[in-house]
């Protein structure tokens, strides 16, 4: 056990977060995201039983967002014609606002397939059991 480290962060996940360097990206994926096929060149960490918001909050306690890019947080856009609501995005914005002064302006977005393309270049992908649709989020590491 370590003091000050959120217990949801497993030793494997902490190791990966520590290994990441400035500019590396981390995907926290919902339960429908094709983590294994998109993560063939990345480290895939299973966090079954957890949702994206609690992992995002815990990670941002130890993971600085990149201040050298305009939008270090990327969401997957809703596909045109899809009527899915995305209230989880508001939760993400509240969480990020606790750790980054840019608040909502730290967010960008990518089309579904654009997000997949960027995920294939990520350092790591965390596969969760998140049930919300379009709940995938990518964060870019900054410096301390």
- Mark whether 66 is an active-site residue: yes
30, 57, 66, 100: the active-site residue: 66
- Mark whether 22 is an active-site residue: yes
CB within 8 Å of 129: residues ≥ 6 apart = 31, 47, 48, 49, 50, 51
> First and final CA of the chain: distance in angstroms?
23
The helix (run of H) or strand (run of E) holding residue 93 is helix 88-99
Phi, then psi, of 9 in degrees rounded to 5 = -85, 105
22, 82, 90, 117: the active-site residue: 22
Query: How many Å apart are CA 17 and CA 10, to the nearest integer?
Result: 11
- Active site amino acids: 22, 66, 116
């Amino acid at each position: 056990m370590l003091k000050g480290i959120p217990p949801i962060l497993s030793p494997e996940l902490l190791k990966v977060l520590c290994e990441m360097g400035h500019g590396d990206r981390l995907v926290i994926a919902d339960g429908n995201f094709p983590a294994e096929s998109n993560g063939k060149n990345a480290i895939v960490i299973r966090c079954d039983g957890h949702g994206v918001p609690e992992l995002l909050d815990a990670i941002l306690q130890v993971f600085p967002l990149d201040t050298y890019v305009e939008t270090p947080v990327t969401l997957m856009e809703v596909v045109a014609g899809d009527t899915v609501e995305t209230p989880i995005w508001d939760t993400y914005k509240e969480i990020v606002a606790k750790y980054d002064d840019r608040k909502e302006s730290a967010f960008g977005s990518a089309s579904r397939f654009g997000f997949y393309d960027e995920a294939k270049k990520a350092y790591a992908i965390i596969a969760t059991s998140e049930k919300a649709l379009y709940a995938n989020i990518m964060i870019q590491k900054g410096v301390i």
